[in-house]
Amino acid sequence: MPANTKYLSSNWQRFGKITAGFIGGFIVTITLHIALAFFFNHKNIIITSSFTGFILWVVLMIIAFLAKNGWKIWAIYLAFSFLLSIAIYLGKMYNPII
């Protein structure tokens, strides 16, 4: 018996969820760890980012797949990575030693 079509998402929504999970989650993970590296000891952040980065990426991927609208998740991930990019810029400006 096939699934009820009212519970299935369209192809574009599915594409948005998949790309937001893989690409958007990766972008947020990387920008978060780079921003943390400017405000804390960057050697420790780089070492632990191999573990915490993978965990965060998986969590963001699961959140993207559980959402109803893939394009809203893309907007949220891009906004969050933009805010983290501003934090990276401010960290570079106020801490030019790194």
pLDDT band at 41 (very low <50, low <70, confident <90, very high): confident
For position 4, what pLDDT does the model report?
66
Alpha-carbon gap, residue 24 to 16, rounded angstroms? 10
**Domain spans of the chain, in order of start:** 22-94
For position 69, what pLDDT does the model report?
87
pLDDT of 1 > 80? The answer is: no
Tokens representing 32 are 């978060």
Supply the DSSP symbol for 20: I
Q: C-alpha angle 49/36/40, rounded to 5°?
A: 105
Percent of the chain with pLDDT over 90: 44
